[in-house]
Structure 1
Amino acid sequence: MNALFNNYSRRPISIVEGKGTIVKDSTGKQYLDFTSGIAVCCLGHTHPALVKTIKEQSEKIWHTSNLFESPGQVQLAEKLVKDNHLSHALFCNSGAEANEAAIKLARKHTGKHHIITFENSFHGRTFGAMSATGQEKIQKGFGPMLDQFTYLPFNDADALKNTVDESVAAIMLEVIQGEGGIHEVTEEFAKAINELCEKHNILLIIDEVQTGIGRTGTRFAFEQTSLKPDIVSMAKGLGGGFPIGGILATAELYETFGPGSHGTTYGGNPLGVAVAQTVIDLVFDDRFLEEVREKSQYLISKLEEVLPQDQFEIRGKGLLIGIDCHKEVASIVGKAEEAGLLLVAAGAQVLRLLPPLTVTFDEIDEAVAILKTILTEEKSVVS
């Protein structure tokens, strides 16, 4: 027992050094990091451009408070809303904070309080975000959640149509459910959402905390669908490992968040904003995103080559890939770690692959070889 709370099921290794996709633990053992801090280190570890930015900004100023003008925040906001229908940004420190802001903005703007989310969703662990999360295991033990959240089956257009009425302020969803097992929104469901939002004057909130900032091969995952969000939440990859989150919203919502309506002490601090600007400059480059899509196709094709499709299901987009093993994967994650590959689960039965967007093709080959060995052995044992 140590002085920390035991709220994390920590693995018995300590990562002390990293460069690109490669990390080392305190014993000197080397691993391929296909977690990226759970989709956070989009440019890998200690990317030279980020190191340079942090060093330069740290020698200028770290924090000034949002009492003062912030040209850096304005510049970052302009980069994030360029070439899309969104127009304004608010910066905070995490994905949960971003979703809290999105929920507050939707309720205040519409004057309504009912929000529809979906089963197996994940929106964070603060009370509002936890209340929006459609997973009982996340909420268990904390007493009554905030009311007026309804959880519906994901991709069930009929259930949505039968539930929506004029009381609904917003529909909130992930384009790909990350924690929920790497399930993508269908185009049929997306169209139903659009139609219902327009018919009943409902706001659409898309949680891009995990899928945003190039993770799925485009700037944001919603760009690969017909969905047109009023509010987008983001974090994780936005800072490439430095804590920063935020929301983007349309011009119609600008007046709703006037002075005193919402705030954050550290959100949009000069260090976080400087790093995020560097991330966006690199990741939102068309050639960079094209390479992410090429790596995605390569990774999926390699997995399909070595994993029998009648035994494994591969899902996802970009470098957010799930392997449904149709069995508990905790032991597989452990075996991969022993073999030098760090993975994270997505639910009980799905392996989640989240390499840095800068992962090399050779590193993909190495990771797939490890997975092939482990998963083949697992199936032979079961057989």
Structure 2
Amino acid sequence: MPAPSLTAAWRPVDTGDDTVAVAERAAIGTTARVAVWPPDDLPAALAATDDVLDALDHQASRFREDSEISWLHRRNGGLFLLSDGLAEALSVALAAARWTGGLVDPTVGEALISLGYDRDFATIDAYGREAAGPSAPVPGWRTVWLDGPMLRLPTGVRLDLGATAKALGSDRAVRAAMAATDGAGGVLVSLGGDLAVGGRPPCDGWPIQVADEPEPGASARTQSIRLVSGAVATSSTTCRRWRRADRVMHHIVDPRTGLPANGPWRTVTAGAATCADANAAATAAIVAGDLAEDWLARARVPARLVSHEGEVRHVGGWPDTDGDPIAVRSRSHVYDRASRP
């Protein structure tokens, strides 16, 4: 069967399985990958994904001068009427903050800037010699008022939706791709490893390789699972790191301190009904530290945790054997509350 024609930005990925078509491209500071079956659905799924990613970047990227969220920050507080897209993204972020008890918080923007994450990560000097600024306090998600599209943002509060926006992009892209095709097959969308699936999966589910990027001197840990429905997302302290003088920084901020989370886990992968849920849970677990396993078990979230030393823990029904399916709850914690921030 001839390969579907792709736009220049997308590169075909050879998986050795001609029943599934896969393509990837750089997008929103990471790699986007789309897999579909039947293969003829790929061009429509890619076009739908392009639209979703372009819209999300213009809504929620704090690194674009022309984004909606950057426009809000330049106004430095006030009452605003948001676009539907940014209103949804912020609503999901606030709902995630509520669900995680503030372990995930969209008001960490100023704290990230003070740590040196003040531009697109690709342009940050990973070995910077300048000293880190003093930690900036995190105002807290409760200081933000959102009612539908109406936002009241206090003076001095900078938003960062990094814990939920990319995952929301995967959820949106899956819905858009399914709507753009006849719906008889299935689709998988991954943004930097935060992935969601929709429609009918291939036989026995989508094969997923779960891996973490080890720290210097540590060994990598990988596992193969299968995903029939829902989503899987990973948060890690090892993939976006930089130095400020003698301090190593990473992008997961503990809202309680305004500093990078310093718990025992280097990587957490979680499964949930939506990618927004899964990424919120994984990030919350990194921040929760020693309490992560108890929190995940109470939340009934299947998760895989890897310590800085490479020890692997499974909680919440995460599969122990390679190739086994992961069972996610049908209820979405974040989306159930998204309309009531």
- The TM-score by the shorter chain falls in which range? under 0.3
Normalising by structure 2, we get a TM-score of: 0.28
The answer to which structure has the higher strand fraction is 2
Larger Rg belongs to = 1
The answer to which structure has the higher helix fraction is 1
Normalising by structure 1, we get a TM-score of: 0.26
Structure with larger RCO (C-alpha < 8 A, sep 6+):
1
